Structure 1
């Protein structure tokens, strides 16, 4: 099943590509790889959550925000090469703005990883990093980058 068909089956609509906040593009293709810029949890250009996970944002809210980041990454890929050209998800890098002592970054980034598995099935299995950081742009709790292989 194509990724677009799977999204429809899951009743998920890709958002518009998020407008870059600075001097970069949402995604770049080199050879058979597409790299997305870091995607924030934005809907219609507005943050869905703000603050640090483990303080103002719960781990579950962070997981929802990570899913939103992944959806924005898929939108950037779709706009560049078409989502159905994705052969597999190669790597996900997730940054979690963490309150002192918060160590649940992997569970938060599961929001992105689980979505990719739902959309791409076995081809959505990927390498991953989940990193705790002090702060992120726009006081976002999460930022996610995707690397995918395309045909």
Structure 2
């Protein structure tokens, strides 16, 4: 996998501070060799980068970018808890897409997160995944991503 911090620098990605929870939970929990990351919204500098339903107020291409932001926030939660250097592999992600009626492009939206993990971790970033359409997400976010990662 190489040095994850060097790879992040090559990609021009700065890991932000962990996003504070918006309710009664913690951003990530480690048990044994796994870390479970709570659903991360597309927060940038303490605010949602966009709001609304994908396929209505938010274009699918923009939602894919927002899923990438969610994935960066997943990395921030892992960094704060255990350090990204301890990641062995991304095991599974679940992407939730707030979908307008009739929108069925959830897999393409969640690719924004999947592709980010592949860019950062290479083969170790390949993961199992679910992409789920929902009627609404917290704070009217268009997308949310949660993850399970294996640590050394």
**Alignment TM-score, normalising by the size of structure 1:** 0.99
Deviations 1:81-112 (A, max 9, x none): 00010000000100000000000000000000
**Which residue of the partner structure matches residue 100 of structure 2?**
99
Q: Give every structure 1 segment of 4 or more consecutive aligned residues whose post-TM-superposition deviation is greater than 4 Å.
A: none
The answer to whether 1:122 aligns with 2:123 is yes
How many residue pairs align between the two structures?
151
| 2:52 match | 51
Residue 78 in structure 1 maps to residue 110 in structure 2: no
> Which position in structure 2 is the counterpart of 1:62?
63
Q: Give me the CA root mean square deviation.
A: 0.5
Q: Paired residue for 1:37?
A: 38
The residue that corresponds to 1:141 in the other structure is 142
Partner Cα separation in structure 1 for residue 67 and residue 12 of structure 2: 18
Cα distance in 1 between the residues matched to 2:11 and 2:67: 18
Report how far residue 25 of structure 1 moved.
0.5
1:2, CA displacement in angstroms?
A: 1.3
For structure 1, the 5+ residue unaligned runs are none
Question: Displacement, 1:4?
Answer: 1.1
For residue 5 of structure 1, report the CA deviation from its aligned partner: 1.1
Could you list the runs of 5+ residues in structure 2 that have no partner in the other structure? none
Task: Measure, in 2, the Cα distance between the counterparts of 1:10 and 1:65.
Answer: 17
Q: CA deviation at 1:3?
A: 1.1
In 2, the alpha carbon distance for the partners of 1:2 and 1:137 equals: 34
